[in-house]
Amino acid sequence: MAKRNAVRNNEARTGKTAVRRPLMTTQAWKAAVDDRTAHIGIIGMGYVGLPLMRTYCNAGFSCLGFDIDDRKVAQLNAGKSYIKHIPSAMIKDVVNAGWFRATSDPADLHSCDAILICVPTPLTRTREPDMTYVESTAHLLADHLQRGQLIVLESTTYPGTTRELIKPILETSGLKAERDFFLAYSPEREDPGRQDHTTATIPKVVGGFGPASKKIAAAVYGAAVSRVVPVKSCEVAEASKILENVYRSVNIALVNELKLLFDRMDIDVWQVVEAASTKPFGYQPFYPGPGLGGHCIPIDPFYLTWKARQYDMSTRFIELAGEINTSMPEFVVAKVGEALNTKKKAINGSKVLVLGLAYKKDVDDIRESPSIELIELLRERGAKVDYNDPHIPKTPKQREHNLGMTSKKLTPAMLKSYDCVLIATDHTDYDYPWIVQHANLVVDTRNATKGVKTGRKKIVKA
Ligand SMILES: NC(=O)c1ccc[n+]([C@@H]2O[C@H](COP(=O)([O-])OP(=O)(O)OC[C@H]3O[C@@H](n4cnc5c(N)ncnc54)[C@H](O)[C@@H]3O)[C@@H](O)[C@H]2O)c1
């Protein structure tokens, strides 16, 4: 083991690719996994790929991170993180120890035994699966595929992707799945910012294209995570991930719809959820909010909707949940209007401070964040909008949006200068009693001010 690792470490240090011996049998794979000589390649060093690399390095494997973004590659090789909850110190440690190297040269993937794909799977403008990242990765791999390699797709996608899309592209290499290389699907279950689970402790569902692929993929994951859940096929694994996300989307929509009803009935939905949560069985709490955000819940269910059309089915729960969840920012803006009205003010011409730009608390990710929609809706109605987010000093350029805003520093005087403070994300760092004390009016979409005792008359829940 020491010898093979020395080769890998030398490779990581020198940037030169070592010659790999193909691991063609499950026994050879088992030995390479047991003695940690299997070299792990990860494609896409983002919110999923980086924690996965950490998990494999912690388990004693050497890793290669491949990304098409040269800036990320340079930052990683300099021991720097670009994701808030992944410390630079960790990256520096594994780079300095020779356990990890990043690259944008696909030829470096020749040295990897297992290659795990963690590239984005967004929606197109017409809300259909955008498979361009997955497809281009598959083409790139087909050009560099080596006998005996294990290829695993981790990106969230519709059932059938691995077999119908990835396999034919990889086989243009002349190598056959299950005979010359191994192919599997294992969905990522990353939840950025979560403290009670890590990539290593979250059970990993694994579906193989064939029995050998399944066995080898299960062994590769089993060495790094606490529990592997092998399933019958890639399709079962793909569908299980979509089910998890549909489940969240539908239940969040349910509680969001109840929020609208209970608001009219003058019942506090958060108190209702808290009371219902005391039932020790048969109920799991979901919380209302200003709308869905993040890379997963607002997007992934529509991968299934798209696939269902090929089977002459419409996924009515998914569509309805999407409709309700995407209407939530409009409800929040209406609430801001009502709240300002009580002060004899209109949205038009008012100064509004949005607190929290991230799609959920304590993360620095603004993908699909409802805060962006809130800012745009308020601006359309003539409000002058600023934001504060301790995790996002300035708004990054996105595919659909480029707000070009910078986070405003919170002070008592600045809070007072806004007609309305809109809590869109309940970051832990915020001092809510202090915010309420200095604000003129607070619209709270997250029940973040629950514990605030003084100044409750200034608070409107939305
Ligand atoms: N972020 C999450 O919490 C989360 C959770 C579960 C599942 N997922 C799924 O995991 C997948 C990846 O999501 P993410 O959040 O890590 O995305 P991300 O945008 O943070 O990272 C993706 C990375 O892939 C790189 N990339 C894009 N195309 C590439 C290519 N052709 N070759 C190599 N690198 C390429 C990008 O530069 C980026 O660094 C998606 O399918 C997503 O749905 C994400």
Does residue 362 line the site of ligand 1, with CB under 6 A?
Answer: no
CA of 73 to the centre of ligand 1 (A): 14
Question: CB of 394 within 8 A of CB of 461?
Answer: no
Tell me the best of 109, 118, 162, 397 to mutate to test the pocket of ligand 1, counting ligand atoms within 8 Å of each CB and taking the most.
118
What was the pLDDT predicted at 402? 82
CA of 370 to the centre of ligand 1 (A): 20
Ligand 1 atom closest to the Cα of residue 300 is 43
What's the start-to-end Cα distance of the chain, in Å?
59
CA of 75 to the centre of ligand 1 (A): 17
Candidates 34, 8, 2, 10; CA nearest to 21 is 8
What was the pLDDT predicted at 171? 98
> What is the model's pTM?
0.92
The DSSP letter of residue 111 is G
What was the pLDDT predicted at 9? 52
What number of other Cβ atoms are within 10 A of residue 81's Cβ?
Answer: 16
Q: Give the integer Cα–Cα distance in Å for 401 and 390.
A: 20
Length of the chain as a residue count: 462
Q: Give the integer Cα–Cα distance in Å for 161 and 236.
A: 11
Helix (H) or strand (E) holding 141, with range, is: helix 132-144
pLDDT one-digit tens code per residue, 121-142 = 999 988 899 999 999 999 999 9
pLDDT one-digit tens code per residue, 290-312 = 999 988 899 999 999 999 999 99
Helix (H) or strand (E) holding 213, with range, is: helix 211-222
Helix (H) or strand (E) holding 388, with range, is: strand 384-388
Residue type, position 155, single letter: S
Tell me the best of 47, 155, 166, 362 to mutate to test the pocket of ligand 1, counting ligand atoms within 8 Å of each CB and taking the most.
47
Catalytic residue among 57, 118, 234, 296: 296
Measured N-to-C along each axis, helices 49-58 and 88-96 cross at an angle, to the nearest 10 degrees, of 50
What was the pLDDT predicted at 295? 83
The DSSP letter of residue 406 is B
Rg of the chain over all Cα atoms, to the nearest angstrom: 24
Query: Residue 13 pLDDT more than 70?
Result: no
- In three-state secondary structure terms, 63 is strand
| Phi, psi dihedral angles at 42 (to 5 degrees) | -125, 125
Does residue 66 line the site of ligand 1, with CB under 6 A?
Answer: yes
Q: Give the integer Cα–Cα distance in Å for 403 and 392.
A: 13
Q: Give the integer Cα–Cα distance in Å for 40 and 27.
A: 18
pLDDT one-digit tens code per residue, 201-229 = 999 999 999 999 999 999 999 999 999 99
Largest CA distance in the chain: 76
Average pLDDT on 238-258 reads: 97
- Strand 420-423 to 442-444 pairing: parallel
Q: Give the integer Cα–Cα distance in Å for 393 and 15.
A: 34
Ligand 1 atom closest to the Cα of residue 299 is 43
Strands (E), 99-153: 100-103, 114-117, 150-153
CA of 350 to the centre of ligand 1 (A): 38
pLDDT one-digit tens code per residue, 64-77 = 999 999 999 999 99
The two tokens of residue 361 are 């608390």
What was the pLDDT predicted at 1? 45
Question: CB of 377 within 8 A of CB of 333?
Answer: yes
Degrees (nearest 5) of the Cα angle 236, 237, 239?
Answer: 65
Query: Residue 410 pLDDT more than 80?
Result: yes
The DSSP letter of residue 407 is P
**Percent of the chain with pLDDT strictly greater than 70:** 96
Ligand 1 atom closest to the Cα of residue 69 is 37
420 is catalytic: no
* Residue 309: partners with Cβ closer than 8 Å, 6 or more residues away: none
Protein residue with its CA nearest to atom 5 in ligand 1: 190
Q: Give the integer Cα–Cα distance in Å for 208 and 202.
A: 19
Average pLDDT on 232-256 reads: 97
For the chain, how are helix, strand and coil distributed in percent, rounded to 5? 40, 15, 45
Residue type, position 260, single letter: L
Strands (E), 158-281: 182-185, 204-208, 228-231
Does residue 224 line the site of ligand 1, with CB under 6 A?
Answer: no
Question: CB of 442 within 8 A of CB of 435?
Answer: yes
Q: Give the integer Cα–Cα distance in Å for 139 and 224.
A: 28
Q: Give the integer Cα–Cα distance in Å for 233 and 230.
A: 9
Distance of CA 227 to the CA centre of its chain: 21
Tell me the best of 54, 67, 123 to mutate to test the pocket of ligand 1, counting ligand atoms within 8 Å of each CB and taking the most.
67
Q: Indicate the average pLDDT of the chain.
A: 94
What was the pLDDT predicted at 5? 55
What number of other Cβ atoms are within 10 A of residue 353's Cβ?
Answer: 23
Q: Give the integer Cα–Cα distance in Å for 202 and 189.
A: 7
